[in-house]
Amino acid sequence: MQVATPTRPKETKPSTEKQAVRPQMDFNRITDEQFLIAAEEMKLESEIQLLLRTPYREMIVQIPVRLDDGRLEMFHGYRVQHNAVRGPYKGGIRYHYKVDLNEVRSLAALMTWKTAIVDVPFGGAKGGVSCDPSAMSRAELQALTRGFTRKIDMALGVYRDIPAPDVGTNAQVMAWIMDEYGKKNGYTPAIVTGKPLNLGGSLGRDAATGRGVSIIAREACQCFDIDIKRAKVAIQGFGNVGSWTGRLMARLGAKVVAVSDVNGGIFNEVGLDMERVVAHCQATGTVAGFKGAKSIDNEELLTLDVDILIPAALGGAITRDNAESIKARLIVEGANSPVTPRADEVLSRRGTTVVPDILANAGGVTVSYFEWVQNLQQFRWSADRVNEELERKMVAAWRAVYNRTIDQHTPLRISAYMEALDKVAEATRQRF
Ligand code: GLU
């Protein structure tokens, strides 16, 4: 899968050249703009706006790692704790060469809104390390993870800040964090979520984000008169979120006609067999080269004539430059910030509905909450219980957001922000 697999070392070492040639988008400006539109729409007091816009704490740490070839490399890591009025800080850790403070800051704020929308008692945080996990060996990734954990562990805690996986990290990385934290603090499984099952992870956590995306897509189809059983779906990104979304959309009866990853995409008009695509991807590390499908590139995938488009890779995939060419009626954001505000404007003018990230991909943190609860209870829930509770939370969140859109004629993104801001603002007023 596209998600970094620390067990598969490659020849190349992390290089800073990649960072230089590909400029990073100003994600914080994007999410701040979205926040302000919603805050103004709901006439949120300016003091509350100031409190909710400002991250509580931002850490920048340097992590020296001895690479396998003997060189010492210095990595830059970040943890931004955005807001904790509703509960402990919560959010993933991203390993990607484009990670910087601006992006982590933006992702941390998104977590605050996500946890509020699905009504789990957490705040929002995010972490990241600028590195290329696909080019690092397992030993290097382990050293990096343990080093990062040591640098930020004074700000973590079961009731303070609880990391989880994100792009480029996985259950193995969470196991190392738990182990490193445990050296100082004793056995503390609730310090991270998204752990391996064997170490206190939750059944259903691996599929949770994709399951949430598929539940929200199903609800949106009902409300916008799309027959999911006849719907053609294209998914950009085939990591944890994209692959699970594809499988679960197929189980709902939708026809997944195209998927892609960093190496390219595949297309088959009659629908791809998702289980076989996943098996191919597990065997070869990419969806590219799947037999019985035409190869396409990522840009072509976005503009295919489908009913539902699910961007599930990185931020900034749909911009003002390609929004005009998008033919899908419904876009469900599996990734964080895949659609820029200018693209939102174009899509809205063209009648395309966009279901925002903070609603669509909140299934991951919802099951993270269930995992944390199970760790505190020291009692494992069944997969059925996890999935039923997830279903309930996602459907309730969809209804709350959709009803605002019906009542106030706001786009779903702004309705979702308003739903979140209402809850976080109320908790802020009660504490102050
Ligand atoms: N990284 C995921 C997200 O962006 C999950 C966070 C979590 O489970 O804490 O929502």
Do 267 and 31 contact (CB within 8 A), yes or no? no
pLDDT at 152 over 80: yes
Residue 194 Cα: closest atom of ligand 1: 8
Q: Write the single-letter amino acid at 343.
A: A
Question: What are the two backbone dihedrals, phi and then psi, of residue 102, each rounded to the nearest 5 degrees?
Answer: -60, -45
- Domains 57-191 and 208-360 equal at CATH topology level: yes
Select from 368, 369, 371, 373 the residue to mutate for testing ligand 1; criterion: most ligand atoms less than 8 Å from CB: 368
Q: Using CA atoms, how far apart are residues 188 and 228, in angstroms rounded to an integer? A: 43
Who's near 29: CB < 8 A, 6+ residues apart?
A: none
C-alpha of residue 93 to centroid of ligand 1, in Å: 8
pLDDT at 197 over 90: yes
Residue 193 Cα: closest atom of ligand 1: 8
The CATH number assigned to the domain with range 57-191 reads 3.40.50.10860
pLDDT at 65 over 80: yes
> pLDDT tens for residues 48-58?
999 999 999 99
> pLDDT tens for residues 284-306?
999 999 998 999 999 999 999 99
Q: How many CB atoms lie within 10 A of CB 186?
A: 7
- Where are the chain's structural domains? 57-191, 208-360
Structure tokens at 141: 């990734």
Ligand 1 cavity residues, CB under 6 Å = 90-92, 114, 164, 166, 193, 336, 361, 364-365, 368
Average pLDDT across the chain, whole number: 94
Select from 82, 89, 110, 166 the residue to mutate for testing ligand 1; criterion: most ligand atoms less than 8 Å from CB: 166
Coil vs helix vs strand at 418: helix
Q: List residues with catalytic annotation.
A: 126
pLDDT at 219 over 50: yes
Who's near 349: CB < 8 A, 6+ residues apart?
A: none
pLDDT at 370 over 50: yes
C-alpha of residue 94 to centroid of ligand 1, in Å: 10
- Provide the pLDDT for residue 24: 82
Which among 23, 2, 17, 21 has a CA at the least distance from the CA of 319?
Answer: 23
| Tokens 């103004």 belong to residue | 40
> pLDDT tens for residues 325-369?
999 999 999 999 999 999 999 999 999 999 999 999 999 999 999
> pLDDT tens for residues 80-107?
999 999 999 999 999 999 999 999 999 9
Do 87 and 122 contact (CB within 8 A), yes or no? yes
pTM of the predicted protein model:
0.94
Looking at the domain 208-360, which fold is it?
Answer: Rossmann fold (3.40.50)
What is the pLDDT averaged over residues 263-291? 97
CA-based radius of gyration for the chain = 20
Do 162 and 190 contact (CB within 8 A), yes or no? yes
Structure tokens at 239: 């990591």
Q: 268-276: long-range contacts at Cβ-Cβ below 8 A with a sequence spacing of 24 or more?
A: 268/292, 268/293, 268/294, 272/246, 274/246, 274/247, 274/249, 274/250, 275/247
pLDDT at 244 over 70: yes
Select from 31, 120, 174, 209 the residue to mutate for testing ligand 1; criterion: most ligand atoms less than 8 Å from CB: 209
Q: Using CA atoms, how far apart are residues 414 and 353, in angstroms rounded to an integer? A: 12
Q: Using CA atoms, how far apart are residues 249 and 338, in angstroms rounded to an integer? A: 19
pLDDT at 22 over 90: no
